[in-house]
Structure 1
């Protein structure tokens, strides 16, 4: 890959931008690094991006800082497989606390997607 090569266009929803803006700089920097990976890396490691089972075209962006696990839901616009997708939407973000909250945030992401 060339230094400035881009595989994917990344679109932020208002909800994702609000989430990102309330984070401290250390976490924002991790998100910036992850977004650079999303844009410029063809094959994405499951350490950073993982398919959400049972929901078509939804993936989670995974950010770990210490014991905190941050997640953002990604919608792959133009392909079922994120690797082959060229356009992604970052729908929302949250600090993962438990399974119940996680499912709630996935439903929230689906509702955001329906409003777009």
Structure 2
């Protein structure tokens, strides 16, 4: 199968989140990343655009009744940048987590020079 997108992590935010998770969650996260890399059309149950944000997405991980989210965005179309992640404890994604992801996305573009 041919890779359609490249997924990379911005700084250590994603890695720091990932190593705190149980192995089953880590495995599921890697499965979702694989779907993002290799599937032309990514089902919304795995990757969803957050309304009201400029290009911020959440990768959606569900294991049993537990839910995790990893924020990401597209840079130059085929490059996906992973940001922070968290375990979701309520129906609504906390504004503080979205704000943090937006801050990291802006930081990424500032460092990149654009």
**Alignment TM class, shorter chain as reference:** 0.7 to 0.9
Change (3 A) 1:67 1:39: same
Deviation at 1:101, TM superposition (A): 5.6
Structure-1-length-normalised TM-score: 0.86
Give me the CA root mean square deviation: 1.4
Pair 1:39-2:37 in alignment: yes
Structure 1 unaligned residues grouped into runs of 5+? 79-84
1:40-78 deviation digits (Å, cap 9, x = unpaired): 011000111111001121111000011111001111112
Pair 1:54-2:46 in alignment: no
Match 2:4 to one of 1, 7, 29: 7
The number of aligned residues is 107
Match 1:108 to one of 87, 94, 100: 100
Runs of 4+ off more than 6 Å = none
Deviation at 1:113, TM superposition (A): 1.7
Match 1:95 to one of 83, 87, 93: 87
